[in-house]
């Protein structure tokens, strides 16, 4: 009896097992890469002097996951990255802000991608804006002050700019990656 026959007779499918292993391995690699990008961004001093304004390098990985993995995998990668980064770099409040922004951003990106109307750049741009909105919502909730939304125009502009930049980079990188590595 061959290995394939013995696996089939036991009710196991080696293809699906390999696919699950492949998904887990790709998810782990993408989570690690997102965490590395988060750390690199943590090390970069910001000359803007504007709190909360940053490029969002880890979103390169999240955009890739949105386009080449499922919603569940994208969510897992984002959650694990945010929680580990919170423990290592930003603390409880930083993790709360990132979690609010990351979850809202991911939900919007998944919905927009699903419509098929928006390009990767457009999806990334919306993700940048909604990430900032999520962080502003949690900040206004924590301090019980809606006046924080005066800051939204700055965050809107920075989210648009960083979302476009990340989207362009993600699109270029996506074009360079061989199809068999995408999923």
- Please name the residue that has the structure tokens 């989207």: 167
- Would you say 159 and 105 are in contact if contact means Cβ atoms under 8 Å apart? no
pLDDT at 18: 56
Environment class of 12 (CB within 10 Å of its CB; exposed 0-12, middle 13-18, buried 19+): exposed
pLDDT digits (tens, 9 = 90+) for 110-156: 999 999 999 999 999 999 999 999 999 998 888 888 777 888 898 89
Confidence label for 2 from pLDDT (cuts 50, 70 and 90): very low
pLDDT tens digits, one per residue of 97-112:
899 999 999 999 999 9
Position 83 scores a pLDDT of 95
| Range 79-84 contact pairs with CB under 8 angstroms and sequence separation of 24 or more | 80/31, 81/31, 81/34, 81/35, 81/38, 84/35
Q: DSSP assignment, residue 150?
A: G
Q: How far is CA 67 from CA 60, 120, 153, in A?
A: 11, 8, 29
Express the helix, strand and coil content of the chain in percent, nearest 5 each.
80, 0, 20
Burial class (CB in 10 A: 0-12, 13-18, 19+), 122: middle
Q: Which residues contact 164 (CB under 8 A, 6 or more apart)?
A: 121, 124, 125, 128
Domains delineated in the chain: 3-181 (1.10.1760.20)
Report the percentage of the chain scoring pLDDT > 90.
Answer: 60
Diameter of the chain by CA atoms? 72
The more confidently predicted of residues 15 and 65 is 65
Lowest mean pLDDT among 18-22, 49-53, 128-132: 49-53
pLDDT in tens, 21-46: 888 999 999 999 999 999 998 887 66
pLDDT of residue 17: 52
Contact, 73 vs 19, CB < 8 A? no
Q: Average per-residue pLDDT in the chain?
A: 86
């Amino acid at each position: 009896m061959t290995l394939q026959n013995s696996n089939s007779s036991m009710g196991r499918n080696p293809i699906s097992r390999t696919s699950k292993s492949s998904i887990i391995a790709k998810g782990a690699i993408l989570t690690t890469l997102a965490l590395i990008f988060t750390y690199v961004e943590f090390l970069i001093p910001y000359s803007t002097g504007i709190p909360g304004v940053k490029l969002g390098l880890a979103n390169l990985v999240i955009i890739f996951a949105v386009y080449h993995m499922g919603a569940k995998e994208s969510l897992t990668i984002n959650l694990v990255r945010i929680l580990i980064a919170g423990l290592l770099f930003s603390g409880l409040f930083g993790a709360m802000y990132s979690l609010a922004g990351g979850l809202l951003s991911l939900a919007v990106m998944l919905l927009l991608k699903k419509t098929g109307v928006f390009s990767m750049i457009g999806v990334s741009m919306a993700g940048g804006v909604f990430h900032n909105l999520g962080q502003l919502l949690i900040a206004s909730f924590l301090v019980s002050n809606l006046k924080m939304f005066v800051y939204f125009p700055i965050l809107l502009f920075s989210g648009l700019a960083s979302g476009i930049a990340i989207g362009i980079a993600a699109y270029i990188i996506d074009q360079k990656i061989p199809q068999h590595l995408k999923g």
